[in-house]
Amino acid sequence: MSDIHELEVSLAKVKEDIRTVELLEKLEKNAAFKELILKRYFEERAQNLVYMKAGAPDDRQKEIIENGMQGIANLRSWFSAITVNGAAARDALEAHQAEINLVKGEE
């Protein structure tokens, strides 16, 4: 019974990862998201921060700018992780379900 429980918990995680990547994919198709996040934030804001850092008069302003750059990098990295985890989850879904069915059949 413990094996089935562990497999079901694992399957739930796989399904959650698939749901998360589906939400991201839905966002990426949204025109407002494309304009605001993908274009203005990831591209334009990132470029502006680089230019601002080059002309920042003191270390405090440079730190503020670097924090902004790090925020952009963190969000982009999180989106990438969602995509990678979602792809792996989609690949694993059928195998997880088959394994649960196999274990249940053995009981």
pLDDT at 4: 81
Distance CA 64, CA 41 (A): 16
Q: Is residue 1 predicted with pLDDT exceeding 50? A: no
pLDDT digits (tens, 9 = 90+) for 19-59: 999 999 999 999 999 999 999 999 999 999 999 999 998 99
What are the boundaries of each domain within the chain? 2-106
The reported pTM is: 0.84
Q: Which residues, 6+ apart, have CB-to-CB distance to 18 below 8 Å?
A: 86, 89, 90, 93
pLDDT digits (tens, 9 = 90+) for 78-93: 999 999 999 999 999 9
pLDDT at 107: 60
Using an 8 Å Cβ cutoff, are 96 and 11 in contact? yes
Residue 79: CB atoms within 10 Å = 17
pLDDT digits (tens, 9 = 90+) for 10-29: 999 999 999 999 999 999 99
